[in-house]
A and B are shown apart, each in its own frame.
Chain A
Amino acid sequence: MMKILNQIRQHIFLVIVSILVIIPVIWVFVNSVKPSSEILLAPLSFPSKIDFGNYVSAWSDAGLGVGFVNSLIVTSISIILIVFLSAMVAFVLSKKQFRFKKTIQLSFLLGLMLPTFLAMAPLFLLMNKLDLVNSLVGLVLVYVAYSLSFTIFILIAFFNQVPDSLEEAAVIDGCGPFRVFWNVMLPLVKPGLISAAIFNFVGIWNEYILALILISDDSMKTLPLQLANIMMIQQYHTDWGALYAGLVLSIIPVTIFFLIFQRRLIEGSTAGSIKG
């Protein structure tokens, strides 16, 4: 009896926390398959029948399909570029000696401190001048630029762990700098590349503020923008069903990612800060 009481005491707080996390998410899922009429009339009850109609209207009428595809394109291209370009810089900063090395290192370090909000207005004006507003290419370039600092510093830690002797051996075998990087270094820091890709996936899939200032054309909007859009339209004619379906669409990819890479995400996101 004592043992059970003790168990309850240990779990009760965490159970409350878990309910607070899970119930809202379940509520969104349940409402997303409810016929629109029931959402308003019986918000708390389970649906009388499972109805995927909301997804159809969310996907086509509310433009979430376009948003989903745009987000997928922007996120995947950005990640490839971020990981690749950051690895090149991290490799050089970790393994090479040259003039201005300190300057370059410090300027990338500065990027960790500069708030996006500072650059917001001039960035918009610059993009406007370059004709990169309302363009997925523009958005990708900005995402890459703003993710470099963080990714470079993750990757430098991984390159530092690769012993210099390996590079020297490769050079003696006649490898040029590019072969060393591609054939020797990249395979050795693969765990770092994967971690960097995972963190950037979550960050860019969820990104809202930069997209908000750079994209206004409906056909170019990413998923978070399209979602926010429904919210604004909502105030006039209410398509709650589409809203809930849209929420599910935006939650699912990151959730799948989370389920697959849980360990890496949780442990990776804390490791850096503990060391610091």
Chain B
Amino acid sequence: MQHRNEKWAIIIFLLPATVLYFLFVIYPSIEALRMSFYNWRGLGTKEWIGFDHYKYMFVDSSFINAFLVTGKYILFLMPIVLLVSIIIALSIAKLIRTRWFNLYRAITFFPYILPAVAIAMLWATIFNPVSGMLNGILEAVGLEEWTREWLGRESTAFGSVVFVTAWQMVGFYSVLILSSILNIPEELLEAADIDGASRFQKNIYVILPMLKDILQVVLIFTLINTLKVFEMPQLMTGGGPNGSTEPISLYMYEQAFSNFNFGYASAIGVVFLILTLIASVLTLRITRGDRS
């Protein structure tokens, strides 16, 4: 009697969450795999076309462009985010046990909790060529020739979007690195002091090697999050000028919801999944590695 009661309780506890999860997360994900083999625009008949969508990607210049742009985001954001976060974390760590510590930590972390939409629009207004703060400041200090249409020119749009994305991401990773710096045993640092290591030497030879694992985690988190970059290019540049800031995520969204090419969009989603899985496997490898 007791036993049967328990069994029903378990089912009741699991049921609501599991139903929602399988209906809205698992089913659409599997459906995406299936839909990627069909030509379908949401209405009318579905036409089985096998791997045609995947083949088309190799000749679709817009997809190739989006793929390369995503790669370019990763290429720029990984080193920038890593380097800036390390420097911030090291600088804040030095101030531990001062009243500045919490203040700087809070300020650095702050952008991470803001809505991405708000960040994108906030910076879009700053980059605005007419009423924006950036051109305003450049004019005020006599650098008129530096003023430009930051988001409207191919030469500056990509850099601007990268900057804003980094602005959003860096706080989280700085705090992450900071907390692992604080976990380094004090004796190690004291030993370095006794050996007469300078601050710089201490950073390079004592602290950085201790951070190897967390820095790998930071790189991979940045990789996964950069794959998902969407709001910044969508709202700041619309992917333009000339597709120079358009990542896969935005291209996929347009295929699905502007062109109603659901089959092709799903195929791009599958490519997206594969990229994410590669990044996740890397994460698992590393986290497994440091446990053994």
A85 to chain B, nearest CB (A): 4
- CB pair B5–A176 under 8 Å, yes or no, is yes
B165-217, CB < 8 A from A: 167, 171-172, 175-176, 179-180, 183, 214, 217
Provide 21 A-B residue pairs closer than 8 Å at the C-beta atoms, listed in order of the A residue. Answer: A14-B91, A17-B104, A21-B108, A21-B171, A22-B107, A98-B10, A117-B228, A119-B269, A126-B28, A146-B25, A206-B113, A208-B115, A212-B253, A228-B235, A231-B235, A240-B125, A243-B121, A251-B114, A255-B114, A269-B112, A274-B183
The interface size of chain B toward A, counting residues with CB under 8 Å, comes to 91
Q: Does the CB pair A89–B25 fall under 8 Å?
A: no
User: Is B83 close to A, CB under 8 A?
Assistant: no
A176 / chain B contacts, CB cutoff of 8 Å: 5, 9
Stretch at the interface among B54-62, B74-82, B128-136, B150-158: B128-136
Chain A CB within 10 A, most for which of B24, B110, B136, B179: B24
Contact A240 B24 (CB under 8 A): no
What number of residue pairs across chains A and B have CB atoms under 8 A from each other?
259
Partner of A44, one of B104, B136, B172: B136
| Number of chain A residues whose Cβ lies closer than 8 Å to a Cβ of chain B | 90
Q: Name the B residues within 8 Å of A258 (CB-CB).
A: 106, 110, 113
Minimal beta-carbon separation of A271 from chain B (angstroms):
8
Q: How far, in Å, is A12 (CB) from chain B's closest CB?
A: 9
Q: Quick one: closest A residue to B170, CB to CB?
A: A17
Contact A120 B122 (CB under 8 A): no
A39 at the interface (CB under 8 A from B): yes
A24 on the interface (CB 8 Å rule)? yes
For A152, list chain B residues within 8 Å (CB). Answer: 17
Tell me if A40 and B130 are in contact (CB < 8 A).
yes
A169 at the interface (CB under 8 A from B): no
Set of chain B residues within 8 Å of A254, measured between Cβ atoms: 113-115
Is B179 touching A267 in the complex (CB atoms < 8 A)? yes
Q: CB within 8 A of A208: which of B92, B111, B117, B125?
A: B117
Interface of B is mostly: helix
Q: Roughly how many angstroms separate A215 CA and B252 CA in the complex, as a whole number?
A: 18
- Cβ contact of B95, chosen from A10, A40, A121, A228, cutoff 8 A: A10
Q: Is A266 an interface residue (CB 8 A)?
A: yes
Instruction: Write out the residue numbers on chain B whose beta carbons fall within 8 Å of the beta carbon of A187.
Output: none
Residues of A within 8 A of B92 (CB): 14
Which residues of chain A come closer than 8 Å to B32, judged between CB atoms? 118-122
Write the chain B residue with the least CB distance to A132: B24
State whether the Cβ of B227 lies closer than 8 Å to any Cβ in chain A.
yes
Given A14-B91, A40-B131: A21 in contact with B110 (beta carbons within 8 A): yes
Q: Is the CB of A114 within 8 A of B29?
A: yes
Q: How far is the CB of B275 from chain A (nearest CB, A)?
A: 9
On whether A273 and B29 interact (CB within 8 A), knowing A240-B131, A251-B118, A266-B175, the answer reads no
User: B230 at the A/B interface (Cβ < 8 Å)?
Assistant: yes
Q: A39-B131, A266-B175 are in contact. Are A122 and B113 (CB under 8 A)?
A: no
Instruction: Answer whether residue A162 sits at the interface, using C-beta atoms and an 8 A cutoff.
Output: no
Q: When the two chains form the complex, which single residue of A110, A122, A205 contacts B28, counting CB atoms closer than 8 Å?
A: A122
Asked whether, in the complex, the Cβ of B13 is within 8 Å of the Cβ of A141, the reply is: no
Closest 3 pairs between A and B when the two form their complex, measured CB to CB: A177-B9, A145-B24, A119-B28
